[in-house]
Amino acid sequence: MTDPADSTPAPPPPSPWERERPARTRAAVARTPLSRERIVEAAFTVLDRQGLDGLSMRQVAAELGVTVSALYAHVSSKDDLLELMYTRLFDGFELPRPDPDRWQEQVRDYARAGRRRLLSHRDMARISMAHVPFTAELLPYVESLLAIFRTAGLPDRIAAEAGDLISTYIDGFVLEEGMWRDRAAEQSGEDTSLARPDWREMAEEMQDYFASLPAQDFPHLRALAGMMVTDSSDERFDIGLEIILRGLASYLPDATKRAPSDDGRAPDTT
């Protein structure tokens, strides 16, 4: 805020012509007039840099070169801001036209896309977990998911629960991913930027710990040590997803046809 063109990445370029915008007598530089959109954008910047615990209204204000109280003219509270960020997550999420023959793949795509979006911003799963997509602008997305289930032929009770189930699964899975990442980061480097390869290191450490447990008390934990904590989370995510999908498929009227593994994409269980 000291000089024009300082704190934000792309302020209007200097433009020597138009000597207008005479750089207000105040410290505030002449810049676009602080909308909800700009606040949300700045909040994401702070979130990615400092995590949810470091996301304070003052930090967001500083990011914009503005005082805290200015934010409250556009955002009614911090919860309001978090809800805006949550809603923003769904922007551009593409809604498939339900196809009964491809419903499992459509759900898979939906879930994977959801996870990808949650991973696109630090601690986003924590924010997502604290909200429910029942605001007016998010209803189309839950409608779309329910459409897939219902047109696939699932009973209503099952379809209604399935939406909650996979949403919870996505959020919960990514949340746990984030916890592992945080734990790994805090264990070695304070600054998260340098502590990238320690994630793998921590997975090994955890495996070693499981393997070191007394064999008579923890036979199963030892046996599964290699699978409980693995660095390829993608695979784990797909497995959990597949379990849910199979459970749902068992409720289809013609369950016999597509029961165990028919669509050729289910991960093998070796």
Partner DNA sequence: TGCTACGGTGAACAGTGTTCGCTCCTCCGC
Partner DNA sequence: GCGGAGGAGCGAACACTGTTCACCGTAGCA
Residues that bind DNA (CB under 7 A): 1, 21-22, 24-28, 30, 33-34, 54-59, 65-70, 72-74, 77-79
CA distances 96 to 5, 90, 93, 167, Å, are 43, 14, 10, 17
Tell whether residue 159 is a contact of a copy of itself (CB under 8 A): yes
* Cα gap 4→110, rounded to integer Å: 44
Give per-residue burial for 5-41: e unless 16+ CB within 10 Å, then b. eebbeeeeeeeeeeeeeeeeeeeebebeebeeebbbb
Which of 100, 267 has the CB closer to a copy of itself? Answer: 267
Q: Which does 171 bind (CB under 5 to 8 A by kind): DNA, a copy of itself, none?
A: a copy of itself
Q: How far is the CB of 6 from DNA (least distance, A)?
A: 13
* Cα gap 23→28, rounded to integer Å: 8
Q: Residues 248, 123, 77, 28: is their CA dihedral positive or negative?
A: negative
Which of 120, 261 has the CB closer to a copy of itself? Answer: 261
Which of 71, 203 has the CB closer to DNA? Answer: 71
Q: Residues 12, 15, 19, 24: is their CA dihedral positive or negative?
A: positive
CA distances 99 to 113, 139, 240, 248, Å, are 18, 20, 23, 16
Tell me the DSSP string of 21-43.
S---SSSS-------HHHHHHHH
Q: Which does 57 bind (CB under 5 to 8 A by kind): a copy of itself, DNA, none?
A: DNA
Q: Which does 78 bind (CB under 5 to 8 A by kind): DNA, a copy of itself, none?
A: DNA
Q: Which helix (H) or strand (E) holds 205?
A: helix 198-211
Tell me the helices (H) and strands (E) count for the chain, helix number first.
12, 0
Which of 40, 166 has the CB closer to DNA? Answer: 40
Which of 93, 218 has the CB closer to a copy of itself? Answer: 218
# chain residues binding a copy of itself, by CB under 8 A: 60
Which of 73, 215 has the CB closer to DNA? Answer: 73
Q: Which does 58 bind (CB under 5 to 8 A by kind): DNA, a copy of itself, none?
A: DNA
Q: How far is the CB of 79 from a copy of itself (least distance, A)?
A: 11
Question: Of 6, 30, 34, 3, nearest to 19 (Cα)?
Answer: 30
Range 76-135, binding a copy of itself (CB under 8 A): 129-130, 132, 134
Tell whether residue 218 is a contact of a copy of itself (CB under 8 A): yes
Q: Which does 246 bind (CB under 5 to 8 A by kind): a copy of itself, DNA, none?
A: a copy of itself
Of the candidate spans 12-20, 27-35, 86-94, 221-229, the one that interacts with a copy of itself by CB under 8 A turns out to be 221-229
Task: Report the phi/psi class of residue 261: left, alpha or beta, with left for phi > 0 and alpha for psi in -120 to 50.
Answer: beta
Residue ranges binding a copy of itself (CB under 8 A): 129-130, 132, 134, 139-140, 142-143, 146-147, 150, 155-165, 168-169, 171-173, 175-176, 179, 206, 213, 217-221, 223-224, 227-228, 236, 239-240, 242-251, 255, 259-260, 267, 269-270
